[in-house]
Structure 1
Amino acid sequence: MERLDAIFSPQSIAVVGASATPGKVGHDIFANILKGGYTGMLFPVNPGSKSILCVRAYNTIMDIEDPVELAIIILPPKLALTSVAQAIEKGVKGIVIVSAGFREVGGEGAEMEDKLIAMCKAAGVRLVGPNCLGVINPLAGVRMNASFSARMPQAGHISFISQSGALCTAVLDFAANRDFGFSKFISIGNKADVDELDLLRYLHEDMDTDVIMIYQEALGRGPEFIQAVKEITSGSRPTPILAIKSGRTSAGAKAAASHTGSLAGSEAVYDAIFEQSGIIRVDTIDELFDFANAFACKKESALGKIVRKMPAGNRVAIITNAGGPGILATDMTMTSGLTLAEFSDETIKVLASHLPAAANIHNPVDVIGDAAFDRYENALAAVINDDGVDGALVILTPQSMTDVEGTAKAIVKVARRSSKPILSCFMGIVDVSAGVKYLQEYGYPVYKFPENAAKSFAALFRFSKWLNRQHLEQYELKHDKKRAAEVIKGCLDAGKTRLGELDGIELLKCYGMSVLPTKLAKTAKEAIALASEMKYPVVMKIASAQILHKSDAKGVMVGLNSDGEVKKAFDQIIANANAYDPKAIIDGVLVVKMATPGEEVILGVNRYPIFGPLLMFGLGGIFVEIFKDVDFRLAPIGRNEARRMMQKIKGYRLLQGFRGKPKADIETIEKTLVSISDMVMDNPEIMEMDINPMLVHEEGCGATVADCRIILKAAD
């Protein structure tokens, strides 16, 4: 962390490649640091100039008499390598390389970046970039704009990390228009050394940073990232992280043999990472700023400690002076996962005593268009003190009799006394500007439209749910790891990478899953004998490594109750398989004991480079293809993550007992998800897997795997 202080709060900076020519990056960065009011010592380095902007220039960084803490290098790649070596010899603690032409261009550029990494790592010097915008710290004690953005942002308590330099300049312009302040602002470029996780850890410890915003293109770490960020968002001083991720729709799911593989694209991986680490994903730059404003709102406690205002639940009170915006806020509240609070009788009495007869004293509260500031104040005080209210949205539309600034002052007065979040929406620009300015000056979030305020409150609630999430005791499951490894090795030794059902259920049994009696019949006569031994009814399925989706080949027949039906089914299944794929090698037909009915769910795995196994859970059978009601998590997971995974799907209500149906055995699903996580972590050869369907019986009766599909690859 100390080394990153040299990047964000250096006592001295050398700009290597500073230029006297306006318009050049070397000139603009040096000028931005100088004109921004940097409080430390600044040294331009350029062998062709005696001075730059009236500041003495040096031939090399080694010629500077004073110590240098941070070197900012703006030179072509080969010259940058030489300058980095000199900076390290000079004793710098941090380096920022703005120049491009490294890993992003491949070939020699990538080789030079590798050399940079090796040099800095050996010297213990932290490196930002290359190919980045730079670093900004607008706080009064530093005032460093070491970037080629001419705009120095206001000081604030929100930090911003971006992979995109171009986006940084747009965000700075956007922030200036909204009077938005920053604590730290950094573009990380190629992430040769310092990456998102380094910065998240640093900013979490930074007492000037209350909220972190991040623009993310790609991550280079998986499970390690989740575990570290979970501590940041959950620990003794939780720091909210808001992320906007590029490419939500551009990177679709890859072609895959399993349902899990076809549904799990790169965005499913990122959704899982954000969900498991407590990061709140946003869809737009607007939302990024809206949510950050809500999270930055704080209150001083009775003990003098500053605490973030978080809602205990999702029950919202709305106060408005116009019906239409109140309806909009109500609609957005409901679609954002919030609910309208129901006021107590006492609250309704208080509202009735302060509001005119024409006012609506139920939620949403309409104080009528002629409301003065005291009407707002009395209504807000009444609802925010109701135990059934977790926070409030205050909407103001400018009408001829509206005291905009007075209303803003009334909101601040009530908000200061409450630990519950109060978000405001002052609709308009010019007519409401005095009120908006007052709220912003005192650190209270204010929005232009009701939907922005409602979405922001929903983000607060999501983070509150994360902070207060349930922590159940973990399961202690026993697995036959030795036998599982033997099954996998045997299949790979035999050249089998697509496991048939017989091998698959043997593997699942090693991890405690309940499977159906299943045997292979090579003739109709064998099938009849097996079915009689199992006792009817039975299911019959084609057995072929080339036919993974048996239903597509009309290779499954269920509910067979007699010898005659079994013989007919055997012949028909073989004929259907041959018609579906004449080249397929037919091993025979599987005879399976008919399972006890249950709710159909799917559990699956798809393994990714860097990130590892991605687990999937959802409604199974044919429903997975129709509704795609699934959720993902990166392994390893425990009981708590398994439960949250189940609760995330829309079909979870079906498992809880819906319309007279018995409650499903949810605990068995949890244990199965944890077991699958254990299985794929123990056996890196498992690349893809579907258990579809698993039939979940009523509570206390377990679950049965009805079909499975596993794809292997020899471990590296």
Structure 2
Amino acid sequence: MLHSKFINPKNIAVIGASNNIQTPGGSVLNNLISHNFKGELIAVNPKETEVQGIKCYQHVTEIQNVDVAIIAISAKFTLETIKILAQQKNTKGFIIFSAGFSETSKEGKQLEQQIVEEINNVGGTLLGPNNIGLINQNYAGVFTTPIPKLDSKGVDFISGSGATAVFIMEAAMSTGLTFSSVYSVGNSAQIGVEEVLQHFDKTFNSKSSKVKLLYIESVNNPQKLLKHAKSLIQKGCKIAAIKAGSSDEGSRAASSHTGALANSDVAVDALFKKAGIVRCYSKNELITVASIFMHPELKGKNIAIITHAGGPAVMLTDALSKNGLNVPEINNKQSEDLLTKLFPGSSVSNPIDFLATGTAEQLGIIIDYCENKFDKIDAMVVIFGSPGLFNVSEVYKVLNNKMQLCKKPIYPVLPSFINAKNEIEEFIKYGNINFPDEVLFGEALAKIYTTSKPLIEEKINFNIDKSSIRKIIETSENGYLHPEKVKNLLLAATIPMVNENVCSTKNECIQTAIKFNFPVVMKVVGPVHKSDVGGIALNISSEEKLLQSFETLMNIENAEAVLIQPMKKGTELFIGAKKEDKFGHLVLAGLGGIFIEVLKDTQACLAPVSKYEASEMIQNLKSYKIIQGVRGQEGVNEEIFAEIITKISNLIEVAPEIVELDLNPLFGNSKEIFAVDARIRIEKN
């Protein structure tokens, strides 16, 4: 938790204060003064006696006790300074602008750790080092500009990068988005994005901001992030985040399908989805999503587009309809009535185009119809720019008035940031937010609408044989388990398996094939990727073919034995699990067989996976129609598929030593699903 004195200090010392406001120490002092810090300011600089009108001390030992110290001196002097502040001056809040710590060298990392130890010893809070500081309702402890307009109902923003925070604030301010607080965590030596989010969660009340933005460079504590993001969203907050570094090129050579498909970015996606966080990929997308959050929540999929320009309306229609929202045709008696109130040539079918000559009065009438008479409309987007021929301030006044009165959300897209610059600035001064790009807005609105909120759902624990599972794990060596152990592990987890038998001799093969009845499948035991080495023989229908296949398979390099199964048919499915560093286990599902290699159409969820989440994974697959059954082909029993996904989740909970698990393929039809091939790799300790 962040110390209360760090959040709301009675006095602040700037170590390295300067009269030169183009230095960090001078700029932060100027920001504190000009943004009305109500407490006492203390300056420390060995070369000055007065800085920006404030008495200046030559050494930190000379100052009184101080709540927060902002440190803008060379890294090599910071540890000595912090020792004095922590041990002698009862300081509880520390902001270190200085660079030259863990981001540069081992020595810097060691110095950083020593600083953290000193601050931890007194129960203090450290922001940084190597950051730009923080802005909250009490003080502007940053050395950068601009300082955004602060509003307790604006957004709380946590950034892993100081420069990125500045760029996002600059872009946001031009649209009218306001901020409640801004935290730049820098190296996150003691507190990072997760800890600040935890603070927001623990201190949340009716006066708190309900919109949180995150710019994350590395997820240091996924479970903490999940816990507090989920908690805040369940309290009524909305969260959007950028996780920088989404590519994972060449990071590892995976030995299983799951390993190839699951990486840290897939884990981030799964984490955000489980928490209910809207994931963004650019600063403008983040700002657009945050701005939509500041409007009333969209309750349905049907959008009316009100415009005086056809092109932007068409592009917005495409963006909405391609991403899961509707721009429904409006064709009824009320729309005919509306048309009589507009200029000839106008269209009300949706988009509602009231022409370049449309008036402020006509805009008000159209909005009233969408609000009160068009029942199927859930929200409105008003696109209104200017060709530079006349002042549009009256239009924007009407728009502002309707936004305050209407219950349905109204989103203003005002693209004329040169021709209507003054009018847009006036519109923003009313407390509104502008969306300058209609396509970016449409894609963001759809992304928000289709992001599920976190659910509180009881986990289903099937009656699995935990003791047998633990015995198999504890008596096995690290690496891939023998097929017989894989079979026993899955059976103990009540996962349906096709009958199989591992055979080392021709006689065993014959006896097994007679028992199972021809036709059968034969697979080499030993090589991991059987299909890559020609290690699978299908539809073996005679004893002669059986013996030939046995010899062929046993001649494959690293072959140990042959596994025989009855020949089953059905839709090929895939379920996998992978341990992903700090995130825990990912569970994946999709179509199996070669489809997983070609289409890579899978859905992932962080364990534990509920039955609802498993069903959602299945229904979100691009190939879902195949699972439902298409063009007369038999579909797959979704209930059983979801149940097996949750059973895999339960299995890895009992056996966390499983680092990779592949069920590929499972054969499924409308009545049953069987695992046909499985691989499990464990890693103990």
Q: With structure 1 as the length reference, what TM-score do the two structures score? A: 0.89
1:614 maps to what in 2?
A: 586
Q: Decide whether the 8 Å contact of 2:13 with 2:42 is kept in 1.
A: yes
2:227 maps to what in 1?
A: 227
- Structure 1 residue 382 and structure 2 residue 369: aligned? yes
The alpha-carbon deviation at position 434 of structure 1 amounts to 4.4
Alignment of 1:691-702 (within 5 A): 691-698=663-670, 701-702=671-672
- Structure 1 residue 437 and structure 2 residue 422: aligned? no
1:710 maps to what in 2?
A: 680
1:15 maps to what in 2?
A: 14
Deviates most, 225-234 or 244-253:
244-253
1:132 maps to what in 2?
A: 131
Q: Decide whether the 8 Å contact of 1:251 with 1:267 is kept in 2.
A: no
1:171 maps to what in 2?
A: 168
2:488 maps to what in 1?
A: 506
Q: Decide whether the 8 Å contact of 2:248 with 2:265 is kept in 1.
A: no
Aligned with 1:155 (options 150, 157, 173): 150
The alpha-carbon deviation at position 327 of structure 1 amounts to 1.1
2:573 maps to what in 1?
A: 601
2:644 maps to what in 1?
A: 672
Aligned with 2:79 (options 60, 81, 91): 81
Aligned with 1:550 (options 525, 530, 534): 530
Q: Decide whether the 8 Å contact of 1:254 with 1:265 is kept in 2.
A: no
Structure 2 CA distance for partners of 1:642 and 1:357, relative to 1, 3 Å:
same
2:284 maps to what in 1?
A: 286
Aligned with 1:541 (options 502, 514, 523): 523
Q: Decide whether the 8 Å contact of 1:258 with 1:688 is kept in 2.
A: yes
The alpha-carbon deviation at position 274 of structure 1 amounts to 1.1
The separation in 2 between residues aligned to 1:401 and 1:73, in whole angstroms, is: 53
- Structure 1 residue 587 and structure 2 residue 578: aligned? no
Aligned with 1:360 (options 336, 347, 351): 347
Alignment of 1:259-298 (within 5 A): 259-297=257-295
1:303 maps to what in 2?
A: none
The alpha-carbon deviation at position 24 of structure 1 amounts to 3.7
Q: Decide whether the 8 Å contact of 1:343 with 1:389 is kept in 2.
A: no
The separation in 2 between residues aligned to 1:71 and 1:632, in whole angstroms, is: 45
Structure 2 CA distance for partners of 1:164 and 1:252, relative to 1, 3 Å:
farther
1:407 maps to what in 2?
A: 395
Report the secondary structure of 1:552's partner residue. helix
Deviation string, structure 1 residues 370-409 (Cα, Å, up to 9, x no partner): 2111222212221233332221111124247766222222
Report the secondary structure of 1:104's partner residue. coil
1:328 maps to what in 2?
A: 315
Q: Decide whether the 8 Å contact of 1:404 with 1:434 is kept in 2.
A: no
Deviates most, 21-30 or 603-612:
21-30
The separation in 2 between residues aligned to 1:357 and 1:664, in whole angstroms, is: 55
Amino acid at match of 1:691: L
Q: Decide whether the 8 Å contact of 2:125 with 2:191 is kept in 1.
A: yes
The alpha-carbon deviation at position 536 of structure 1 amounts to 1.7
2:26 maps to what in 1?
A: 27
The separation in 1 between residues aligned to 2:85 and 2:111, in whole angstroms, is: 16
1:310 maps to what in 2?
A: 297
- Structure 1 residue 483 and structure 2 residue 468: aligned? yes
2:502 maps to what in 1?
A: 520
Alignment of 1:330-349 (within 5 A): 330-343=317-330, 345-349=332-336
The alpha-carbon deviation at position 169 of structure 1 amounts to 3.0
Q: Decide whether the 8 Å contact of 1:393 with 1:454 is kept in 2.
A: no
Deviation string, structure 1 residues 330-381 (Cα, Å, up to 9, x no partner): 1111122211134473542443343345322212222222211122221222
Report the secondary structure of 1:455's partner residue. helix
The separation in 1 between residues aligned to 2:19 and 2:391, in whole angstroms, is: 53
Report the secondary structure of 1:664's partner residue. coil
Report the secondary structure of 1:220's partner residue. coil
Report the secondary structure of 2:141's partner residue. strand
Report the secondary structure of 1:72's partner residue. strand
The separation in 2 between residues aligned to 1:114 and 1:682, in whole angstroms, is: 36
The separation in 1 between residues aligned to 2:178 and 2:273, in whole angstroms, is: 27
Report the secondary structure of 2:130's partner residue. coil
The separation in 2 between residues aligned to 1:414 and 1:629, in whole angstroms, is: 44
Deviation string, structure 1 residues 446-475 (Cα, Å, up to 9, x no partner): 222321331232244235x427x6x66642
The alpha-carbon deviation at position 4 of structure 1 amounts to 4.4
Q: Decide whether the 8 Å contact of 2:16 with 2:25 is kept in 1.
A: yes
Alignment of 1:9-158 (within 5 A): 9-20=8-19, 23-65=22-64, 67-89=65-87, 90-137=89-136, 139=137, 142=138, 144-156=139-151, 157-158=154-155
Structure 2 CA distance for partners of 1:173 and 1:366, relative to 1, 3 Å:
closer
- Structure 1 residue 650 and structure 2 residue 607: aligned? no
Alignment of 1:419-438 (within 5 A): 419-438=407-426
Amino acid at match of 1:269: A
The separation in 1 between residues aligned to 2:586 and 2:393, in whole angstroms, is: 52
Q: Decide whether the 8 Å contact of 2:523 with 2:536 is kept in 1.
A: yes
Amino acid at match of 2:590: G
The alpha-carbon deviation at position 20 of structure 1 amounts to 4.7
Amino acid at match of 2:271: I
The separation in 1 between residues aligned to 2:300 and 2:277, in whole angstroms, is: 19
Q: Decide whether the 8 Å contact of 1:354 with 1:379 is kept in 2.
A: no
The alpha-carbon deviation at position 15 of structure 1 amounts to 1.2
The separation in 2 between residues aligned to 1:200 and 1:419, in whole angstroms, is: 31
Amino acid at match of 2:409: P
The separation in 2 between residues aligned to 1:251 and 1:7, in whole angstroms, is: 40
Structure 2 CA distance for partners of 1:208 and 1:311, relative to 1, 3 Å:
same
Report the secondary structure of 2:103's partner residue. helix
Q: Decide whether the 8 Å contact of 1:50 with 1:58 is kept in 2.
A: yes
Deviation string, structure 1 residues 216-264 (Cα, Å, up to 9, x no partner): 10011123321221111122xx221111121123555521101111122
Deviation string, structure 1 residues 476-499 (Cα, Å, up to 9, x no partner): 31211111111122221xxx6112
Deviation string, structure 1 residues 478-535 (Cα, Å, up to 9, x no partner): 211111111122221xxx6112322212111111100011111222332122101111
1:451 maps to what in 2?
A: 439
The alpha-carbon deviation at position 411 of structure 1 amounts to 2.2
1:687 maps to what in 2?
A: 659
The separation in 2 between residues aligned to 1:250 and 1:703, in whole angstroms, is: 33
Equivalenced residue count is: 678
Q: Decide whether the 8 Å contact of 2:45 with 2:59 is kept in 1.
A: yes
Structure 2 CA distance for partners of 1:106 and 1:293, relative to 1, 3 Å:
same
The separation in 1 between residues aligned to 2:274 and 2:156, in whole angstroms, is: 22
Deviation string, structure 1 residues 108-166 (Cα, Å, up to 9, x no partner): 322232222223223221111112111123x4xx3x33222143222231222111122
The separation in 2 between residues aligned to 1:399 and 1:15, in whole angstroms, is: 50
Q: Decide whether the 8 Å contact of 1:32 with 1:148 is kept in 2.
A: yes
Aligned with 1:199 (options 196, 201, 216): 196
1:300 maps to what in 2?
A: none
The separation in 1 between residues aligned to 2:491 and 2:273, in whole angstroms, is: 30
Q: Decide whether the 8 Å contact of 2:590 with 2:601 is kept in 1.
A: yes
Report the secondary structure of 1:625's partner residue. helix
The separation in 2 between residues aligned to 1:434 and 1:380, in whole angstroms, is: 24
Structure 2 CA distance for partners of 1:459 and 1:591, relative to 1, 3 Å:
closer
Deviates most, 531-540 or 453-462:
453-462
- Structure 1 residue 247 and structure 2 residue 245: aligned? yes
Q: With structure 2 as the length reference, what TM-score do the two structures score? A: 0.93
The separation in 2 between residues aligned to 1:400 and 1:16, in whole angstroms, is: 52
Structure 2 CA distance for partners of 1:22 and 1:197, relative to 1, 3 Å:
closer
Structure 2 gaps of 5+ residues are none
Deviation string, structure 1 residues 569-609 (Cα, Å, up to 9, x no partner): 2223234x2xxx4xx2x2211111222x3222211122122
Report the secondary structure of 1:590's partner residue. strand
2:209 maps to what in 1?
A: 209
Report the secondary structure of 2:212's partner residue. strand
Amino acid at match of 2:155: I
1:305 maps to what in 2?
A: none
Amino acid at match of 1:499: L
